[in-house]
Chain A
Amino acid sequence: MNVMNPDISAPEADTTTPLTARDFTSDQEVRWCPGCGDYAILKAVRATLAEVGRRPEDVVFVSGIGCAARFPYYLASYGFHTIHGRAPAVATGVKMANPDLDVWVVGGDGDFLSIGGNHLMHALRRNVDLNLLMPNNAVYGLTKGQYSPASATGMRSPSSPGGSVEAPVNAAMLALGAGARFVARSADTLQDHLPGVLKAAHANRGTSFVEILQNCVVFNDGAFDAVKDKATGAERTIRLEHGKPLVFGAEGDKGIHVDWATGTARVVPVGQGGAVYDVTVHDQTNLALATILARMEGPDLPVALGVIYHAPGASFTDLREDDPTRTMDRAGLSRLLSAGKTWTVS
């Protein structure tokens, strides 16, 4: 119970029984397209919520507009489906009003990177204690398939029949540039990976930004297959682990060597005697390394998955001077009213 107002008749929460994913499942029918990557993300989110163990009444999901923004309806927590792009701002208000709540924000690439880009940037630099989940399907799904700010150059869509001429946003780089202190990346169907990333995001006290590569089965099907496919994924992605060498490949035979002089990464062979280059060790607190890892993409470099950057720092609500549970009362009001230059007429 984290309510400011004491006069509540609702029963006390049962805090003894362990929570399951079912406890976070609402009675609403899920209405995404069959095969949508959001199903897998929802499953991972429910499992993570059960594992981290905050009571459903202390959890709030805020979303903007888009396919992914339907998330709150499907979770048995408090939820608020708001307006396009503004969810981080709404969530900031929620967190200010009650910093004890566990607040999650879900928005797609259109929501976070386009119409809501400004709010994303400011939530990140303020380090509001929010978990921002950005399913990135690189397309506008709910409005029927227009290219998004994350779409690849050349993408043909109803609004770019000749192919988009725009360069895509690299969400992780954008987040790092805005001052994010927690930046991670995973993918919808990587159920052996995504829950761990979500858990780490939840554990960070500040804004956690998680880009989740997500398949849109209708408008951008297969966009991330190469990254997610079991056969190719091992070669096309690298799973980051703090303090461990940057090694990838089905056989673990490849590594990433960072040339600090040029700020570039290259793939180097691992496990063969007399290697010319050392394999770089992942340090998630190193911003320079994070910007190199965040930029990696095919065909020459693997896409980085996992926690790219994590530099814990005081959160927005921690830094605010005021006691968040304090409310002006009549005595305070009386003092305030007489605090100015007054005169009395008798």
Chain B
Amino acid sequence: MLDQPFASDLPAAGTAAAVVRFAGDSGDGIQTLGSEFTKSSALTGHGFMTFPDFPAEIRAPAGTTFGVSAFQIQIGGDAVKTHGDTVDVLVALNPAALKTNLPSLRPGGLLLIDTDAFNKRGLEKAGYETNPLEDGSLDDVRVEAVEISRLTREAALADGRAEAGVTKKDADKARNFWALGLVYWMFEQDRSATATWLGTKFGKRPEIAAANVAALDAGHTYGDVTDMAPPTRLRALAAAQPKPGTYETLTGIDGIVLGLTAASALSGLRLHYCSYPITPASAILHGLAKLEGEGVATFQAEDEIAAATAAIGASFAGGLGVTGTSGPGMALKAEALGLAAAAELPLIVVDVQRAGPSTGMPTKVEQADLNMALKGRHGEAPLPVFAAAGPGDSFDTVLQAARVATKFMTPVIVLSDAYTANAAEPWRLPDVDAMADIAINRDIDPEGFHPFRRDEDSLARAWAVPGMTGLAHRLGGIERAAGSGHISYDPDNHQEMTDLRAAKLDRIRDFLPAAKIETGDDAGRVLVVGWGSTRGVLKTTVEELNAEGHAVGHLHLRSLSPLPRGLEEAFGLFDHVVVAELNSGQLLDELRARFPHIPFRGLNKVTGQPFTVAEIDAALREHL
């Protein structure tokens, strides 16, 4: 086993970041460890990005490799925009977790394992023929093999807690907090927030809370009293120097929940979130359901189609209708989107993309619903499609979607994905007072009213809603005469309405901000173009290449339909344009069709895993 300095290959102290990965059985509370460590990192003042990586199975058989759940976090300064390519500290609570996660640990990285779990049965379940602790397979990492289960049991059952009712089984369940205690020690993090949380979590059984806190403390003490040399770099991590303000830890799901709620508050429209359970979008429904009673309505529909159509009904009746789903559900909503486009009703459709097709890999990331979002409707029904570029950006994106949906009377599709949905980052709370209203025009003159009379600038029709006197009208999927909205099969009218639906997208393009190079040089050798959750990894790579003096830029699309103004000019400033996305080239095809004279290159990956900085770096260097 190596005893090399921990991270000599990394940037100097003060700018360093570290990557920690917790791994264990689905039942080991790994995601809890992750969120506690995230919270403490935030409170310590670090920038961070997290990556929960868990199986679709709720409780796969214990000890098996397919039941392993993991949580990765990179902490450091403000520059942290990804969860990190390779891991500096890996906590593996059982052999299966070691087997599936060891490849992520960098050479010389620190591996913390519970030797008590490395018994014959555990090794067999993980499929190990020899004990990795003895067969030399861990020679290039630094192993801290500790009897975590035994030490946890000693701590948890001490001080009369066994007598107070804490069983050995209870004690064994606390071993994850022992490990967390030691990791807190490595990073000099305050563990009081976790201790407080444990007290609340086990409020009804204070002896269990005390047992877990004892385990947490014992892990921390272990670091102090053993001769386990702490990697010096870990103690010199850069603190973030964020803008002044109040912060919280935000996941992409949180961003959507808060963004939709904000859209309701700013528009005065009651939010109606209609959804059918599906991974990973269900978490939005859970988040909003908690706000029932505070002016938010949620509806768990009988299927994806009912979710979409109920949301359309809510919008028709004057609410802010929103439906959310993931890939397979999006396919089911296609017909309803056609109706909303035809009826020209505001509607927000959130698609938290996951690896497909069909059931695919429901908890894994992919950006392969882009084609469906852009084109997956019968007839010509062009719609705005926006993509959330990260947890905090999810808030801004759904808010923007609400503005566009109501201003232009159109459904808007918002693409998130399984990575952004679950990843967390520090988020500065917006100043609610400074946020602009979403103006809803209900000042409609009944004199000569027609439901499809349009505003000349936005091309939006007036949104009269049931209950308003003198404005009763009929909407429908049958083609409507321009202006009156009466049923019309007139050939010229259909051409006119088709053109109007397309022209609305042009007006939306005018409304949206123009494309801009957000990181790196405004002109130069290579431009990398991305959308959605890849923003962090693209930005980080480009910043690193810029630091080396390379003329590389990064442009991140927030709107995939309409494409923003100024794109062609931006592309023209670079010798090469690389389009990076977690699919086989869907945006690439779109850009090639729009800008046939620009030689775009694709950087594509469809593994269910996010890009790494190394992958982006290697691809961009090909063109330097």
Contact = CB atoms under 8 A, between A and B. Distances in A.
Interface of A: 1-5, 7-13, 26, 28, 55-58, 60, 62, 65, 72-73, 76-83, 86, 89-98, 100-101, 118-119, 121-122, 320-330, 332-334, 336-338, 340-346
A323 B270 CA distance: 11
Contact of A11 (B45, B292, B446): B446
A48 to B, nearest CB: 18
A346 B468 CA distance: 49
Contacts of A94: 313-314, 316-317, 466
B39 A93 contact: no
A343 B314 contact: no
Interface string B468-480: 1111111111100
Interface stretch (B244-252, B511-519, B570-578, B585-593): B244-252
Nearest to A26: B474
A62 B292 CA distance: 26
B478 A58 contact: no
12 contacts: A8-B468, A89-B302, A90-B316, A92-B310, A98-B466, A100-B467, A119-B305, A323-B295, A327-B265, A328-B270, A332-B265, A338-B246
A74 to B, nearest CB: 9
A77 B468 CA distance: 11
Contact of A86 (B266, B268, B299, B309): B309
B313 A344 contact: no
B126 to A, nearest CB: 36
B317 A93 contact: yes
A77 B464 CA distance: 13
Contacts of B309: 82-83, 86, 89-90, 93
Chain B: number of interface residues, binned into ranges: 35 or more
B616 interface: no
A82 B474 contact: no
Given A81-B475, A326-B270, A98 B295 contact: no
B544 interface: no
Contacts of A334: 432
A88 B623 CA distance: 57
Contacts of A82: 309, 312, 339, 476-477
A93 B474 contact: no
Interface string B337-379: 0110001000000000000000000000000000000000000
Contacts of B432: 330, 333-334, 337
A79 B291 contact: no
Contacts of A92: 299, 306, 310, 313
Contacts of B245: 344-345
Given A62-B313, A327-B270, A342-B429, 7 more contacts: A9-B444, A79-B473, A86-B309, A98-B467, A122-B302, A322-B292, A328-B264
B350 to A, nearest CB: 16
Contacts of B291: 328, 336
The 5 closest A-B pairs by CB, nearest first: A93-B313, A81-B476, A93-B310, A97-B317, A89-B306
Interface of B: 39, 42-43, 45, 193, 242-249, 258, 261-262, 264-266, 268-272, 274, 291-297, 299, 301-303, 305-306, 309-319, 321, 335-336, 338-339, 343, 429-430, 432-433, 435, 440, 442-446, 465-478, 486-487
Given A118-B306, A328-B271, A57 B265 contact: no
A341 B246 contact: no
Nearest to A325: B270
Contact of B295 (A97, A327, A337): A327
B469 A13 contact: yes
Contact of A91 (B247, B313, B446): B313
Given A10-B444, A336-B294, A93 B272 contact: yes
A133 B306 CA distance: 19
Nearest to A78: B466
A96 B314 CA distance: 7
Contacts of A83: 309, 335-336, 338-339, 477
Contact of B468 (A57, A89, A95, A122): A57
B476 A80 contact: yes
Contacts of B266: 330
Contact of A56 (B193, B249, B472): B472
Nearest to B242: A345
Contacts of B244: 345-346
Contacts of B243: 345
Q: Which of A82, A98, A332 has the most chain B CB atoms inside 10 A of its CB?
A: A82
A332 B296 CA distance: 11
A223 B353 CA distance: 50
A65 to B, nearest CB: 8
B479 to A, nearest CB: 12
B473 to A, nearest CB: 7
B583 to A, nearest CB: 29
Given A28-B486, A329-B295, A336-B291, A11 B312 contact: no
Contacts of B316: 80, 90, 93-94, 97
A346 B247 CA distance: 11
Given A89-B309, A96-B310, A327-B264, A57 B471 contact: yes
B304 to A, nearest CB: 11
A337 B428 CA distance: 10
Q: Which of A79, A122, A346 has the most chain B CB atoms inside 10 A of its CB?
A: A79
A180 to B, nearest CB: 15
A90 B302 contact: no
A94 B443 CA distance: 21
Q: Which of B291, B310, B433 has the most chain A CB atoms inside 10 A of its CB?
A: B310
Contacts of A77: 472
Nearest to B261: A328
A2 to B, nearest CB: 4
A78 B469 CA distance: 10
B474 A79 contact: yes
A285 B444 CA distance: 47
Contacts of B466: 2, 57-58, 60, 78, 94, 98, 101
A42 to B, nearest CB: 14
A59 B171 CA distance: 63
A344 B247 CA distance: 6
Q: Which of B39, B245, B292, B469 has the most chain A CB atoms inside 10 A of its CB?
A: B469
A323 B293 CA distance: 7
Given A28-B486, A94-B466, A4 B297 contact: no
B313 A80 contact: yes
Contacts of B258: 336-337
A202 B301 CA distance: 24
B475 A80 contact: yes
Contacts of A28: 474, 486-487
Contacts of B472: 56-57, 76-78
Nearest to B431: A334
Contacts of A13: 469
A189 B242 CA distance: 75
B313 A97 contact: yes
B240 to A, nearest CB: 8
Contact of B470 (A10, A98, A326, A333): A10
Nearest to A75: B474
A334 to B, nearest CB: 5
Contact of B43 (A55, A81, A86, A343): A343
Contacts of B440: 5
A327 B268 contact: yes
B319 to A, nearest CB: 4
B477 to A, nearest CB: 6
A327 B465 CA distance: 17
Nearest to B313: A93
A9 B264 contact: no
Nearest to A14: B469
